[in-house]
Chains A and B, each alone.
Chain A
Amino acid sequence: MTIRVAFAQLTSCWGCDQSLMDLHMRLLEVLPQLEILYWPAVVDYKLADLEALPRNSIHVGFVEGSCRTEEDVHLLNVMREKSKLLVAWGSCSCYGGVQGLANIWPLAELVERKFQRAETITDARVPDVNVPPFTEHIVPNPDRVKFDMILPGCPPTSDNIYDIVVALLTGAPFELPETTVCDQCPRKREEKHITRFKRTFEGKPDPEKCLLDQGYLCLGFATIGLCGAQCPSANSPCKGCFGPPPSVKDHGAKIISALGAIADIDPEELKKMFPDPVGSFYFTDYAASYLAKIGAKKREER
């Protein structure tokens, strides 16, 4: 049987689409089973075509990206209305994504930096014709509308996408694992004696040993095991771009509390080593953190 699908892109980088395209030869297996109703990255249907579809007429709607503009919010609402089953596709959609880091500042400061103060700007102006207004903050999509499934990752791997599509086609269950990147990582772990955290330009990481044991901030221990430990397998620390396992509610808070326990470092010293806790511990999910939500609330009250 074929399933009727739609892929919508809110503000994002196209990486999730690229990851789907990267199925390459496996696309030949999957594509004949999909009836594509909307996918602007690849197919020429317009927004009006999507808006004209009857309610619940899309079997599975995939939403990538997050709402940076009111147009994104509209598209998200349309996708919810038209889709029987809605999937948050990628970390932007699930958690707000890397652009959630912008929540540190009020919107006015972001706009000013980009359109009025950037070094090469020759005539400062804030565009306001035929462009939608910006949202005040990045909010994870599941806080705006109900989702039936989430598939995190920046981007989700091609294998992840293949698995979810096959599950949807066959009706098999698709559950996110409670395991972590460490469970998938081939490196050797020993007892931890971390007395100082190294930055990645320092030294040369041993390719066999656990990166965290070597003092590099590898966030595999707090990050969902869905990616196949791609980064540590390539001698590079995990930055947590897939977010936490489902039972963890706040990724960064989990990391910070665990680091206190793992490292033989005085809390004040530890704080000094990480002058950018938001960037270091909430790479793609700051918008989903308690910290960001409190900040947004305070700003609204002011």
Chain B
Amino acid sequence: MADEKVIRIEPVTRLEGHGDVTIKLGKDGKVKDVQFNVTSTRFFEKFLEGRFAEEVPRIAERICGICPVPHHLASVKAVEAAWNVTPPPAAIKVRRLLINAKQLSSHGLHFFALAAPDFLAGPFAKPSKRNVVAIIKALPDVGKLALQVMQYGQDLVAAIGGKAIHPVTAVPGGLLNPFSEEKRDRFLKMMSGLKEWMAQTLDLARRVIEDYWDPVTKLAVVPTYYVGTHDKGALEIYDGKIRVMDPEGKIVADFKPKDYRKYFGEYVPDHSYATHIYYKPVGYPDGTWRANTLARCNVADKMKTPLAQEALEEMRERLGRPIHATFAYHWARVIEMIQAMEEIDLLLKDPDIVSTDVKLSDVEPKRGDGVGCVEAPRGTLIHHYWTDERGIVTRVNLIVGTNNNISGIEKSLFEAARQIFEQKAHESLKLPEPMIK
């Protein structure tokens, strides 16, 4: 018999954040434990205390450089809820445009730069070949497609928010910066290009799914609960109700974000600085849920827009509902990119989008607490602030999107490790010839 063995992956690469993986194999060769070790944290929950609440949307967004927009908006919504402020309708439309622009570029970055190297170069390629830089060199058409899609989203975020990373426009009561006609026209003009690029992206995703059908349907298929936001059943990212689906596909909760504390629990593992958020009524670990693209596509009855709906139907025809296949997250990511594109198109064509009536001028701070919730690319995001009568933040609780997934990630990793170390799945799974050799 072999000795006990500990495998450390240090660091996990192509990840936003800091993580290692620890896999423990017993003397019998069986997987005993798999840990996802998130190895740092910055304590936003504490150092946001004492700040002017209206400044917090510009501080809290530093939680994430890929998805600052959802933090910026969840934060401003939390302050508005605490102060009982409703921004003008045009401001809400521009915020929706902003979050969809970010959804597009974040998903584009994730699909092309973080995930695609595994599919295009194959899982056994050398690190020097298995990255987006090598894709750009070896497959210039795919590289160009990736860069164009990401750029459209990032440039639109910058045009609305002032900065592509850590935007500066949202304040309690609306936006500091109206969206100009000149900018609107520029992005409308590029819309036909974006539609074409998204059609190509969907084709690429279809090809990858076909090529990797075996691993997609067999590797790391783990039933969990799912959490995500919807509006009258349609997949929603800016403002809606939160749904929870059980592993059998039954909706077990459907509630307003302000009631989140009844449903969201944070388990503190001994081996990670990121907490494991789970479905509280069921307890931990039975209440392990996942958020993010596939979860949202599971809990929603439908997409909001027609092309995205077609794409969702295609995925459901192949994989059903709920889908537990971890690799289907990438498919769902492309479906959500299509919805983001269609929502951007609709919003750019809405005359209100260039309204200058985007900011109240009579906002008053008050003592209270408020919950702000949006869907970040990687999951349901909640900012909950308490403020004093001067409008200074006295307490903060955060449900960060990614943390909804960590218990599920461990579950997926455990399953994948078991399949690979115990069943040698990597030898038997059908894999295609990689597109990059």
Q: Which A residues are closer than 8 A to B by beta carbons?
A: 9, 11-19, 21-22, 24-25, 27-28, 31-32, 36, 40-49, 68-69, 71-72, 97-99, 101-102, 104-105, 109-111, 113-115, 118-132, 154-155, 158, 199-205, 230-231, 233-236, 239, 241, 275-276, 278-280, 283
Establish whether residues B150 and A21, one from each chain, have CB atoms under 8 Å apart when the complex forms. Answer: yes
Contacts A28-B136, A234-B176, A236-B168 hold; do A46 and B54 have CB atoms under 8 A apart?
no
11 A–B pairs (Cβ distance < 8 Å), ordered by A: A11-B40, A14-B65, A14-B66, A15-B62, A40-B15, A68-B40, A104-B50, A122-B266, A122-B284, A203-B361, A283-B59
Interface residues of B (CB under 8 A from A): 9-11, 13-18, 20, 22, 35, 37-43, 45-47, 50-52, 54-55, 58-59, 62-66, 68, 109, 113, 127-128, 130-133, 136-137, 143, 147-148, 150-151, 154, 161-166, 168-169, 171-173, 176-177, 260-261, 264-273, 275, 277, 280, 284, 359-361, 363, 365, 384, 390-392, 397-399
Query: Residue on B with the closest CB to A31?
Result: B133
**Chain A residues, Cβ within 8 Å of B52:** 199, 276, 279-280
For the complex, what is the distance from the CA of A71 to the CA of B171, rounded to whole Å? 37
Q: Which residues of A contact B384 (CB under 8 A)?
A: 119
Report whether A155 and B166 are in contact in the complex, using a CB–CB cutoff of 8 Å. Answer: yes
Known: A15-B68, A68-B42, A199-B54. A131 touches B272 (CB 8 A): yes
Cβ of B62 to closest chain A Cβ, rounded Å: 5
Is the pair A44, B50 in contact by a Cβ cutoff of 8 Å?
no
A246–B364 Cα distance when bound, in Å, is: 39
Distance of A41 Cα from B150 Cα, bound (Å) = 16
- B47 CB contacts on chain A under 8 angstroms: 98-99, 101-102, 104-105, 110
Residue of A nearest to B152 (CB): A24
Q: Which of A42, A97, A127 contacts B270 (CB 8 A)?
A: A127
Given A44-B131, A235-B177, A279-B51, are A130 and B137 also a contact pair (CB < 8 Å)? no
Pair A130/B271 contact, Cβ less than 8 Å: yes
B437 to chain A, nearest CB (A): 17
For A120, A201, A202, the residue with the greatest tally of chain B CB atoms inside 10 Å of its CB is A201
Asked if B51 contacts A276 (CB within 8 A), the reply is yes
Q: Is A47 a contact of B42 with CB atoms below 8 Å?
A: no
B365 contacts across to A, CB distance below 8 A:
201
A201 to chain B, nearest CB (A): 4
Find chain B residues with CB under 8 A from A71 CB.
39-40
Instruction: Output the residue of B16, B68, B165 with the most chain A CB within 10 A.
Output: B165
Residues in chain B near residue A231, CB distance under 8 A: 162-163, 168
A98 CA to B43 CA in the complex, in Å?
10
Q: How far is the CA of A102 from the CA of B41 in the complex (A)?
A: 11
Q: Are B65 and A15 in contact (CB under 8 A)?
A: yes
B242 to chain A: closest CB distance in Å? 14
Complex Cα distance, B405 from A189, in Å, reads 50
Contact A130 B37 (CB under 8 A): yes
Would you give the shortest CB distance from A165 to chain B, in whole angstroms?
14
Cβ contacts under 8 Å, A130 to chain B:
20, 22, 35, 37, 271
Known contacts A13-B68, A22-B154, A231-B163; can you find 20 more A-B pairs with CB under 8 A? A13-B62, A14-B17, A17-B65, A22-B165, A27-B147, A31-B137, A36-B131, A43-B133, A46-B10, A46-B13, A104-B50, A118-B275, A120-B397, A122-B267, A129-B35, A155-B166, A200-B54, A201-B360, A231-B168, A239-B58
Q: Report A-chain residues with C-beta under 8 Å of the C-beta of B136.
A: 27-28, 31
Say whether B268 contacts A47, CB under 8 Å.
no
- Structural contact, A9 and B109, CB atoms closer than 8 A: no
- Please determine whether B166 and A14 come into contact, CB atoms closer than 8 angstroms: no
Would you give the shortest CB distance from A163 to chain B, in whole angstroms?
17
Question: Measured between alpha carbons, how far is A129 from B268 in the docked complex, in Å?
Answer: 12
How far apart are B100's CB and chain A's nearest CB, in angstroms? 18
Q: Specify which chain B residues have a CB less than 8 angstroms from the CB of A230 in the assembled complex.
A: 162-163, 168
- Which chain A residues border B168 with CB–CB below 8 Å? 230-231, 234, 236, 239
Bound form: Cα–Cα A88–B161 in Å = 26
